[in-house]
Chain A
Amino acid sequence: MECMNLLGVGVCAPDAEFRASLPFPAFAINRETIPPLLRRRSSQAMQMAFSAASAACEQAQRSPSSLPAIFASVAGEINTTDQICNELVKTDGVMSPSAFHNSVQNTAAGYWSIAQQCTQPATALAAGSDTLAMALLEAWCQLACQGGELLLVCYDEAWPGYLAPGCGNPAFAYALLLAAGKVDGRLMQISRPQVGESTFPAAWTDSVNSMPILAAIPLLEAALTGRGPQAIALSPHMPGWQVHAGAYE
């Protein structure tokens, strides 16, 4: 496989001020993307992931029900997990069955498959500050081995402040609908992620160091503003993971 093709993008940034600071269009949470029965107990993480994923599918005009999905997140369902951990300390602490099964890292992946009636494989992965890079590598490997198309969704809700002071904000999610091989209507071609020396934009380095899921801002900017081919760093690490990506031809 020479490259991955980007067919659709969705970006969700719940905080209006942060949204306005982004160099590309992003949207608030769209609760209509979550089936009513799932809406009441859904976390911010799941609401953002669904909002971004639905927008990417819509742009690419693809049905989510036939797409394998990769859900990537640094901290997963951190607020549900935090609530449980606080209860577990108490001698009379309450643990609800739904809080328990909604604390797993693949909560968004599981509910997405249920909501879309999608029986294709769904994966949930995490890789700290390399979460975006490893998610793109997993997408590359799946497309190179199996062909076709898939949905990659990266998201992190805001973390409770005391867990990692100064980190875990703002909440952010994005979805990329990716295809193997040459496809008409692509927004961008993306190479296999590799380790290199390309520099991460200084303006975003501090933000990404405190909220690693923001590492996609340069890649999203290139995709959504139609930049030509270039090396794009996937984290502030030096050397670090990068891709060559851009609007070819």
Chain B
Amino acid sequence: MRISPLISPVAVTAYQCVSAGGDDMDALYASLLANRPCLKPLTLFDIPFDTVVGEVTSALPDIRPDLKNYNSRNARLALKALEQGGFRTEVERAVACYGEARVGLILGTSTSGIYDSENAYARLQQDGVMPGDFYFTNVQTAQATAEFLQLELGLQGPCYAISTACSSSAKALAAAQRLIGTECCDAVLVAGVDSLCRLTLRGFNSLQLISADACRPMDAERQGINIGEGAALLLLEKPSIENTDRPRLLAVGESSDAHHMSAPHPEGLGAATAMAQALRLAGRDVSEVDYINLHATASTLNDLAEARAVASVFANPPPCSGVKGLLGHTLGAAGAVEVVVSLLALERGFLPGTCGLQMPDPECRFPLVTAPELNISPRLILSNAFGFGGNNASVLLEAA
């Protein structure tokens, strides 16, 4: 007998993603099936060490003139995703259906438009003042790209950013589900957006976590992480007769490690709590999970903590894999980007591989999917996102 859920599911009626894996869903699907790294040397700016990154190298659209104060690489990545595969039309349909005040917007980001701020600081040191076209609250503060999208789309519902480092956009999904569950909104656009910048590249390098070569998540010989960028958009709506054919966001489990600012709890206690909480909120049993999309950054501490967490929650773990060897770690966007990957797995019927994995770490006592598995159609998926501050989120998704 199924336990009744503690939070109502919501429908995911549209989703879209721009990343190193391509500019739309078909391109991302092709990259996932090819399972070859989309990681290349950085072209956007210079850095004083070797690495490869998941950079979006296709052209980004311009911000329209009346919103030019919001111009940033982050906003342009988000705008690019909005223009793919009819996503904007889906938002317009939701606005027409519910009214602009009933459609909310929650952004998950870690560094917002800081890439553009870095360029402005170069001018500050040269000229003694910030450039005249730098608008701090429209570019650098965390909600900047959320406000941009809200104005671009004419939405008038609640609008804010969640910025909890690498769990940001997974937690944005949690907040969006609550906005719909409490009838504050009928639909919420969730955006996970982060762009490459010097701060994160050099910051992770200072922590000695950057790999010179393409990363190898969960591999016994992993050498660290690669940074990526991306924009993932998801349109969540209250369940209705119109969207019974769309996948469901069942619940998001959230927790804190209460252990260390930049290192996970060594036994993965917080990660385990988040996964268990997602299942508890949804009223589902561990045995029902068909696949876990791992956070799997390819940092040794993170991978081992997550491996121990999976082993502690699941007596018989389902197949697991992680895609950061393909796309890089898109930081604040990672939660949403990898939920989009998981939704593709649900809707197109496959399990993503773990690009870069050659020799699984013996501590990973669960079935690791190395190459994409095309003969399994998962119906219930957990997707993990863990961040600095010991901030954990695990997203539970179900096929229609």
Contacts and interface: CB of A to CB of B under 8 A. Distances in A.
B124 A162 contact: yes
B163 A105 contact: yes
Nearest to A109: B389
Contacts of A21: none
B388 A101 contact: yes
B287 interface: no
Contacts of A127: 143, 146, 159-161
22 contacts: A89-B124, A89-B125, A97-B207, A100-B207, A105-B165, A110-B256, A110-B390, A114-B258, A120-B255, A122-B391, A123-B164, A124-B163, A124-B164, A125-B142, A125-B160, A127-B159, A137-B179, A138-B178, A141-B178, A142-B178, A162-B129, A163-B130
A29 B392 CA distance: 30
A118 B256 contact: yes
Contacts of B144: 128
B118 interface: yes
Contacts of A106: 163-165, 387-389, 391
Interface stretch (A5-13, A78-86, A197-205, A222-230): A78-86
B122 A123 contact: no
Given A122-B256, A124-B164, A163-B130, A104 B143 contact: no
Nearest to A143: B182
Contact of A195 (B101, B137, B147, B165): B101
A88 B130 CA distance: 15
Contacts of A121: 254-256
A164 B255 CA distance: 35
A191 to B, nearest CB: 12
A159 B140 CA distance: 12
B155 interface: no
Nearest to B8: A145
B269 interface: yes
Contacts of B57: none
B165 A104 contact: yes
B197 to A, nearest CB: 9
A220 B389 CA distance: 29
B330 to A, nearest CB: 15
B199 A100 contact: yes
Contacts of A146: 6
Interface of B: 6-7, 101, 110, 114, 117-118, 121-122, 124-125, 129-130, 135-137, 140-144, 146-147, 156, 158-165, 171, 175, 178-179, 181-182, 184, 198-199, 202-207, 254-262, 269-270, 273, 387-391
Contact of A107 (B137, B269, B389): B389
Contacts of B261: 98, 101-102, 107, 110-111, 114
* Interface pairs A-B: 8 shortest CB-CB: A110-B389, A100-B203, A105-B163, A121-B254, A141-B178, A127-B160, A126-B142, A134-B160
A119 B257 contact: yes
Interface of A: 1, 74-76, 81, 84-86, 88-90, 95-98, 100-107, 109-111, 113-114, 116-128, 130-131, 134, 137-138, 140-142, 144-146, 159, 162-164, 167, 192, 195
Nearest to B254: A121
Contacts of A113: 256-258, 389-390
Q: Most chain-B CB neighbours within 10 Å: which of A89, A144, A146? A: A89
B124 to A, nearest CB: 7
A18 to B, nearest CB: 21
A85 B111 CA distance: 12
A109 B164 contact: yes
Contacts of A141: 175, 178-179, 181-182, 184
A120 B199 contact: no
Nearest to A195: B101
Contact of B136 (A102, A109, A114, A163): A163
Contact of A95 (B117, B141, B206, B390): B206
Nearest to A144: B182
B68 to A, nearest CB: 17
A23 to B, nearest CB: 27
B132 to A, nearest CB: 11
Contacts of A85: 114, 117-118, 121, 199
A240 B262 CA distance: 38
A192 B117 CA distance: 36
Contacts of B161: 125-127
A103 B270 CA distance: 22
Nearest to B178: A141
A124 B178 CA distance: 16
Q: Most chain-A CB neighbours within 10 Å: which of B118, B198, B256? A: B256
Given A137-B184, A144-B182, A97 B258 contact: no
Q: Which of A76, A84, A98, A192 has the most CB of B within 10 A?
A: A84
Contacts of B205: 95
B206 A126 contact: no
A89 B144 CA distance: 23
A117 B260 CA distance: 11
A145 B178 contact: yes
Given A105-B142, A106-B387, A84 B256 contact: no
A181 B178 CA distance: 17
A123 B171 contact: yes
Contacts of B141: 74-76, 126, 128
Most buried by A among B121, B141, B202: B141
Contacts of B130: 162-163
A121 B121 CA distance: 35
A75 B117 CA distance: 13
Contacts of B6: 145-146
Contacts of B204: 100
A125 B158 contact: no
